[in-house]
Amino acid sequence: MRRTVIAGNWKMNKTNQEAVEMLHQLKKEVAGISEVDIVIGAPFTCLSDAVKETVGSNIKIAAENVYPKSSGAYTGEISPKMLKAIGVEYVILGHSERREYFQESDEFINEKVKAVLAEGMTAILCIGEKLEDREAGKTNMVNETQLRGGLAGITKEEAANIIVAYEPVWAIGTGKTATPELAQETHAKIRKVLVSLFDKVGEEMTIQYGGSMKPENAAELLAQKDIDGGLIGGASLEAKSFAEIVKAGR
């Protein structure tokens, strides 16, 4: 059975105190929900207290990035081992903002995926086309390239700990959501690639949609056959709106 996973991506938002306050409220909003896996991606500075605030609850904590080495002379970087040691369970990788602003390549993202899995955490691998790709009819090609690159050398067993987040770049933070039909069409293509790589495991992998998902459109998107969750930016910053999306996924 595919798990529905609703994950927030706070990006570079919230001080530690704001993070703890939000999570305190979110715990109450989503108490008792077990049909959906609930994840919050927070900045590095909030992670330790975020884990402490949510321990024993149904909320899991994600980092938004990692460096693919376990230790060493990499000034300013954070390793998977460090994240694991404080109780982080998921890591968001290859977000379009990291691809765009930090020139992350599929090869580098692939190293990160492997490093995260090696520590026993779950990788959320983000892929998605830009507007010019879609307009040029290259959507499926771009997604397939990012998928095959990010997942190179991954075994079926490892794939079971990977979530794919399809995020059309033109829909991120723009208020423009892909229609449920358009998103489903692309998710089905992504599913095909996953099945070609991992057979049955590919059928079971969670594919999240991301890009201006909000309480008003979540239910319709999540009702699609191959949309198994959401990665949510803006609407994850407030406990109430994020909880409404979680409830739409039940």
Cα–Cα distance, 42 to 209 (Å, whole number): 19
Residue 234 binding ligand PEP, by CB under 6 A = yes
Q: Which of 26, 121, 124, 213 binds ligand PEP (CB under 6 A)?
A: 213
18 a catalytic residue: no
- Of 57, 127, 111, nearest to 89 by C-alpha is 57
* Residue 45: half-sphere exposure toward Cβ, Cα within 13 Å: 11
Listing DSSP states for 82-123 in one string gives HHHHTT--EEEES-HHHHHHS---HHHHHHHHHHHHHTTPEE
Taking CB under 6 A as the rule, does residue 212 contact ligand PEP? Answer: yes
Residues 6+ apart with CB under 8 A from 187: 166, 207, 209, 224, 225, 226, 227
User: With contact defined as beta carbons under 8 Å apart, do 143 and 178 qualify?
Assistant: no
The one among 88, 222, 231, 243 contacting ligand PEP by CB under 6 A: 231
Catalytic residue among 64, 95, 104, 129: 95
d(CA 147, CA 145): 5
Does residue 167 carry a catalytic annotation?
yes
Build a one-symbol-per-residue string for 5-44: x at contacts with ligand PEP by CB under 6 A, - elsewhere: ----x-----------------------------------
CB of 200 to ligand PEP, least distance (A): 28
Interaction with ligand PEP in 134-173: which residues (CB under 6 A)?
A: 167, 172-173
Q: Which is nearer to ligand PEP, 195 or 237 (CB)?
A: 237
DSSP state of 10: -
What count of residues does the chain have? 250
Out of 128, 168, 211, 249, the only residue in the binding site for ligand PEP (CB under 6 A) is 211
The one-letter amino acid at 32: G
Residue closer to ligand PEP by CB (options 120, 173) is 173
Q: Which is nearer to ligand PEP, 62 or 231 (CB)?
A: 231
- Report in angstroms how near the CB of residue 158 gets to ligand PEP at its nearest: 23
Which of 53, 97, 129, 167 is catalytic? The answer is 167
Q: Strands 162-166 and 59-63: what pairing?
A: unpaired
Provide the binding-site residues for ligand PEP, judged by CB under 6 A: 9, 167, 172-173, 210-213, 231-235
Catalytic residue annotation: 95, 167
